[in-house]
């Protein structure tokens, strides 16, 4: 029988024909006739060694005498992110299928996630050796779409008929996925309609942590429950995380708790326009590469907290452990689940080669309104052609420096900044290679506590809005004329009848680079 018992592709027909138990048992007992050792072995994570410094004699005794760890001799030197795991049970499991300490395959600079109860791939440097003391785990075993979850994946659901697509009519016309943690595959009794687990398909022993429990079907629940489970299960945070649909060329790194880094192209919504439906082929994505026209729109999107609306979160359900998780019932999937939402996503840093930043983040109208743009003057928020943007959006922002903070703009063109043939803005100066102080405006916060606002040669500092037009009458302060509290001191402005003010000296002088509103 080709395949293995974790492959759900051919089992639908067997279940529909009432041969579900037969099919699952056959898959449970099937062994490849090739006697060669497998390159990869499927393991179930029992615990994660997050901190080797807490491994003491009591823990070592538990691992050796209760869990029966076969290579206990390396446990005291296991690096961080090693796991305690056992090979997935098979009906032909033997003495060689023992609990082991597995080192992480990836170096410490790239630590992959693993949580108790999840299935991971393990490998050995010499699979044919009689003794394999050191094995390595690579990463989580990817499951079918209706099972896979970036937060937590229960592999045995791949053999649960309530999740298998296409069984709505078979099981009394209802699609009701059971978000439970059965130990093995389930079928429905054709007479009573009651689901039950096939013992031969169990992937964990009845008592995975040696707690004296005999209910085999509850093995996974015991392993991952916060009050009875492994140490790592008590630390892990279980929550619904929307799935991200990346574009084919993207590189995406997704964390278990709603964090995402995408090295891709400009995007503020769906991965493609899928409104085009061909009567012969179904939905066909339109050939739109980016949100902005043409190439040259690479983007790095760093986001935490997607899915802040009902549309982008998708369906959250409560599982049998009273935790929330992402619903995977295809009948109720949201077409916008996991899509970037610049307005509502909780925290984002976007580094874009070319995008419509003010339009996508909803700031264009505010900038235009506050700018008091004169008729015919360029709109500073006009990004219709796309510009390079770095956008930071979150609830609160803190910039903390131990020395200076400098915010500088290197353009003073009197209108829309010019672009070169590649659509880039060129810094003014000799050949565009250096900056000219006459064309720069800046805000500098110095380590000594001074805050310096410096407009360009033709610019002014406007306080209160772009329409600020009130000149400021001041008195000249002596250099370093501050009191012991750091406040500026200066002589009073002398006002006499019919006297002229603002001419300098004791009569005061108007500031030349500051306007108030």
Average pLDDT over residues 275-288: 76
Residue 307's nearest CA partner among 244, 371, 220 is 244
Place of tokens 């760890």: 69
Strands 82-87 and 405-409: unpaired
Beta bridge partners, 516, equal 463, 470
HEC string for 157-203 = HHHCCCCCCCCCCCCCCCCCCCCCCCCCCEEECCCCCCEEECHHHCC
Q: Is 414 left (phi over 0), alpha (psi -120 to 50) or beta?
A: left
CB 366 within 8 A of CB 343: no
Distance CA 180, CA 256 (A): 20
Percentage of residues in the chain having pLDDT higher than 90: 38
CB 509 within 8 A of CB 502: yes
pLDDT of residue 103: 95
Strands 135-140 and 186-188: unpaired
Q: What is the pLDDT of residues 405-464, one digit of tens each?
A: 999 888 665 555 666 666 666 655 544 445 677 788 999 999 988 899 999 888 899 998
Average pLDDT over residues 36-65: 88
- Of residues 383 and 500, more confidence is placed in 383
What DSSP string describes 220-265? HHHHH-TTTS-HHHHH------PPP---TT-EEEE-TTSEEEEEEE
CB 96 within 8 A of CB 90: no
Percentage of residues in the chain having pLDDT higher than 70: 76
Distance CA 311, CA 341 (A): 10
Alpha carbon separation from 167 to 23, 96, 160, 163, 173 (Å, rounded): 16, 38, 11, 8, 8
Q: What is the DSSP letter of 492?
A: P
pLDDT of residue 168: 45
Judge whether residue 47 has pLDDT over 90: yes
| Residue 91, φ and ψ in degrees, nearest 5 | -65, -20
Place of tokens 């970036």: 150
Q: Which two tokens stand for residue 316?
A: 């959250």
How many H helices and E strands in the chain?
8, 22
CB-based contacts of 27: which residues, under 8 Å, 6+ apart? 1, 3, 4, 5, 7, 11, 201
Q: What is the DSSP letter of 14?
A: H
Listed ranges 194-203, 379-388, 480-489, 495-504; the one with the highest mean pLDDT: 194-203
Strands 461-463 and 509-516: parallel
Distance CA 517, CA 372 (A): 12
- Of residues 179 and 25, more confidence is placed in 179
Distance CA 267, CA 244 (A): 13
Judge whether residue 167 has pLDDT over 50: no
CB-based contacts of 423: which residues, under 8 Å, 6+ apart? 296, 354, 385, 386
Secondary-structure breakdown of the chain: helix, strand, coil percentages, each rounded to the nearest 5 = 15, 25, 60
CB 273 within 8 A of CB 265: no
Residue 149's nearest CA partner among 110, 175, 115 is 115
């Amino acid at each position: 029988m080709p395949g293995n018992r974790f492959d759900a592709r051919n089992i639908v027909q067997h279940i529909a024909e009432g041969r579900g138990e037969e099919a699952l048992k056959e898959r449970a007992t099937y062994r490849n006739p090739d006697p060669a050792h497998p390159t990869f072995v499927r393991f179930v994570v029992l615990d994660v060694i997050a901190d080797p410094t807490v491994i003491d004699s009591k823990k070592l005794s538990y691992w050796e005498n209760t869990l029966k760890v076969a290579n206990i001799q390396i446990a005291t030197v296991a690096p961080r992110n090693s796991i305690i795991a056992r090979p997935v049970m098979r009906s032909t499991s033997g003495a060689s299928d023992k609990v082991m300490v597995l080192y992480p395959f990836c170096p410490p600079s790239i630590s992959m996630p693993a949580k108790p109860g999840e299935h991971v791939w393990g490998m050995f440097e010499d699979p044919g050796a009689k003794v394999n003391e050191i094995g390595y785990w690579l990463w989580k075993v990817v499951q079918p779409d209706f099972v896979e979850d970036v937060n937590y994946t229960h592999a045995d659901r791949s053999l649960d008929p309530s999740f298998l697509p296409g069984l709505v009519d078979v099981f009394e016309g209802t699609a009701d996925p059971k978000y439970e943690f059965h130990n093995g595959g389930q079928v429905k009794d054709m007479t009573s309609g009651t689901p039950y687990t096939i013992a031969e398909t169990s992937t964990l022993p009845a008592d995975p942590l040696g707690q004296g429990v005999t209910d085999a079907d509850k093995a996974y629940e015991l392993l991952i429950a916060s009050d009875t489970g492994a140490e790592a299960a008590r630390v892990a945070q279980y929550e619904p995380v929307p799935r991200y649909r990346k574009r084919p060329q993207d590189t995406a790194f997704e964390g278990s708790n709603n964090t995402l880094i995408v090295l891709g192209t400009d995007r503020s919504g769906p991965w493609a326009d899928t409104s085009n439906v061909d009567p012969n082929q179904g939905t066909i994505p339109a050939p739109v590469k980016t949100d902005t026209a043409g190439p040259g729109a690479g983007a790095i999107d760093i986001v935490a907290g997607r899915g802040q609306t009902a549309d982008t979160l998708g369906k959250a359900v409560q599982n049998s452990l009273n935790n929330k998780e992402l619903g995977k019932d295809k009948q109720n999937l949201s077409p916008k689940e996991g899509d970037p939402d610049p307005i509502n996503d909780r925290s984002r840093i976007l580094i874009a080669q070319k995008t419509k930043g003010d339009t996508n983040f909803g700031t264009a109208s505010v900038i235009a309104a506050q700018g008091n743009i004169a008729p015919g003057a360029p709109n500073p928020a006009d990004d219709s052609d796309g510009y390079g943007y770095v956008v930071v959006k979150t609830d609160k922002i803190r910039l903390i420096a131990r020395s200076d903070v400098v915010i500088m703009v290197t353009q003073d063109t009197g209108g829309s900044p010019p672009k070169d043939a590649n659509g880039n803005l060129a810094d003014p100066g000799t050949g565009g290679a250096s900056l000219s102080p006459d064309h720069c405006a800046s805000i500098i916060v110095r380590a000594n506590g001074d805050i310096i606002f410096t407009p360009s040669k033709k610019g002014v500092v406007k306080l209160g809005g772009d329409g600020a037009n009130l000149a400021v009458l001041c008195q000249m302060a002596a250099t370093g004329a501050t009191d012991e509290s750091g406040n500026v001191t200066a002589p009073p402005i002398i006002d006499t009848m019919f006297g002229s003010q603002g001419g300098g000296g004791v009569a005061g002088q108007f500031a030349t680079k500051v306007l108030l509103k």
